[in-house]
A and B are shown apart, each in its own frame.
Chain A
Amino acid sequence: MSFTIATTIDEAVAALAAGARPIAGGSDLVVGARHGKVPLPDDMVAIDRIPELSTIDRAADETAIGAAVNHARLMTDPRIVEEFTAVADAAALVGSPATRNVGTIGGNVMNASPAMDTGAPLVVLGASAVLRSSAGERRLPVEELWAGPGATTATPDELCVALAVPNAAGRHGSAYVRLEYRRAMEIAVVGAAASVTLAADGTVAAARVALAAVAPTIIEVTGLGELLEGQTLNEATLDAVAEAASARSQPISDLRASDHYRRHTVGVMARRAVEAAGRRATGEQIAVPVNRALGIGAA
């Protein structure tokens, strides 16, 4: 057994190659182990003190969000709030101030919970996970990363070092909303993210919607292009979004909601996400998180 603290990506990657598992805040790993769900790994390498993992770097065409950037920073960083607003909406809903301090975007993505909050926003924003191993680096669209509840297609020696998100262009807005029963330490009953780009005439030029907690992984609502492109966002088109989202969902019943209830409410969330993203695309300021600004979820 071993526990080491890495201060560079190379050190962390070498530890993974030798069989260690990474730990950042431990908010999933330690809680899971204390539940008896999965024991703590024998060999761990701490990755929370690697400066390169905590940067948000905006290049000409994309922004790299370091894997160890925590939720508290995601919800307040001006670049994230301005350009990748759905990610900020999601981060602001995670846990409590304490969990937002220790929980990271890389941890959220690699833990691969179907109910993760940052996942659907990353899908609609076209993000890729940047995975590093001693063999080199590869990029994977996030939707190809998730393989099922708690499972990814990353190999054990790969470290997620960043989420690369294309920079927003034109009249663009995004939003993430979720159904929740309480305001803190809550997990999405269902969630939906939307990304909307408007044409000069106010019609939809491009739109994407992704759903949380209604399938074994985060899923995208396909076929939205035909429904929305060239149309304005109105009651009829938003109804169509809701219908498409409900039809796409494959929810389970558990103690928090029945499959029937989830299928219905995920449509409502998708509709509200598209509505909020569309309003943001016009330049309207809706404060982060949308759930609070528009009174969605727990009262």
Chain B
Amino acid sequence: MKPESIVPVTLRVNGIEYSLAVGQGRNLLGAIRNEVGLTGTKEGCDDCECGACMVLLDGQPVNSCSYLAVQAEGREITTVEGLAHGRDLSPIQAAILEAGGVQCGFCTPGMLMSATALLDRNPTPSREEIKVGLGGNLCRCTGYGRILDAVEQVVSIG
């Protein structure tokens, strides 16, 4: 096997540019956690199934475990660390706390990113549309009801 080539890449994460050198096959999740140093984004299944690694790429949800870091060059990456403004939580962050939509918390960053993308493209989703919007995010603490409640809370506050 040939040694993996190292490629320069500039990742713009939460508005800040990071000039990195990453392996050509490096996934975006690894680059964000290990090179950029933001560990809010989680590795769950590492197989594009569970959604714990969800980030936004130009505002759209992407499973960062299964996306090459080099493909994110020049795109706007948003991680869970980018949702709050200082100490002010984003509406969905505040709602998920209030609704009790967090148990172990491992799925929470991914849930927040998918919910943020959903609410950006449809500010008034129905409960059914919320389920579809969070369809790629698994919670193993059986907390779906309260997570859905949290998104509905944001919708009702408007």
Task: Determine whether the beta carbon of A96 is less than 8 Å from that of B71.
Answer: no
* B residues less than 8 Å from A102 (CB atoms): 62-63, 67
- Number of A residues, CB within 8 Å of B: 30
Contact (Cβ within 8 A) A97 B118: yes
B51 on interface, CB distance cutoff 8 Å:
yes
Is B7's beta carbon under 8 Å from chain A?
yes
Against B, the Cβ 8 Å flags (1 = close, 0 = not) of A64-99 are 000000001000000000000000000000011111
Specify which chain A residues have a CB less than 8 angstroms from the CB of B70 in the assembled complex. Answer: 3, 46
Cβ of A227 under 8 Å from chain B: no
Measured between beta carbons, the chain B residues less than 8 angstroms from A5 are: 73
A184 to B118, CA, bound (A): 15
B101 at the interface (CB under 8 A from A): no
Residues of A within 8 Å of B76, CB to CB, are none
A27 close to B135 (CB less than 8 A): no
12-56 of chain A: CB within 8 A of chain B: 23, 25-27, 30-31, 33-35, 39-40, 42, 44, 46, 48
Q: Once the chains bind, are A34 and B68 in contact (CB under 8 Å)? A: no
Given contacts A26-B71, A96-B51, A98-B63, contact A1 B136 (CB under 8 A): no
- Minimum distance in angstroms from B1 CB to a CB of chain A: 8
- Taken together as a complex, chains A and B put the C-alpha atoms of A99 and B46 apart, in Å, by 14
Contact B7 A3, beta carbon cutoff 8 Å: yes
Q: A99 contacts which chain B residues (CB < 8 A)? A: 48, 63, 136
CB of B24 within 8 A of chain A?
Answer: yes
CB-CB nearest in chain B for A182: B135
Chain B, residues 105-135, CB within 8 Å of chain A (1/0): the string is 0000000001001100000000000011101
Q: Which chain A positions have C-beta within 8 A of B66?
A: 26-27, 30-31, 34
Cβ-based interface call for B47 (8 A): yes
Within 8 Å of chain A (Cβ to Cβ): is B153? no
Interface centre among B4, B25, B114, B131 (most CB of A within 10 A): B25
For B27, what are the chain A residues with a Cβ–Cβ distance below 8 Å?
A: 30, 34
A23 to B69, CA, bound (A): 13
Q: Do A35 and B47 touch (CB < 8 A)? A: yes
**Quick check: is A185 within 8 A (CB to CB) of the other chain?**
yes
In the bound complex, CA of A44 to CA of B4 (Å): 13
Closest chain A residue to B137 by CB distance?
A96
> Which residue, of A33, A35, A101, has the highest number of chain B Cβ atoms within 10 A?
A101
A2 on the B face (CB < 8 A): yes
Contact B136 A3 (CB under 8 A): no
CB of B17 within 8 A of chain A?
Answer: no
Question: Which chain B positions have C-beta within 8 A of A3?
Answer: 5, 7, 24, 68, 70
CA distance A93 to B37 in the complex (A): 35
Contact B62 A1 (CB under 8 A): no
Nearest A residue to B46, CB-CB = A34
Known contacts A3-B70, A23-B71, A98-B114, A31 near B135 by CB under 8 Å: no
A113 to chain B, nearest CB (A): 14
Interface string of B51-73 (1 = CB under 8 A from A): 10010010011110111101101
Contacts of A171 in B (CB 8 A): none
* Cα-based distance from A294 to B129 in the complex (angstroms): 16
Q: Which residues of B contact A23 (CB under 8 A)?
A: 68, 71
Would you give 20 A-B contacts (Cβ < 8 Å), ordered by A?
A: A1-B2, A1-B24, A3-B24, A3-B70, A25-B67, A26-B67, A26-B68, A26-B71, A27-B66, A30-B27, A40-B25, A96-B61, A97-B61, A97-B136, A98-B51, A98-B62, A98-B136, A99-B48, A102-B62, A183-B132
Q: Using a CB–CB distance below 8 Å, which chain B residues touch chain A?
A: 1-2, 4-5, 7, 24-25, 27, 46-49, 51, 54, 57, 60-63, 65-68, 70-71, 73, 114, 117-118, 131-133, 135-137
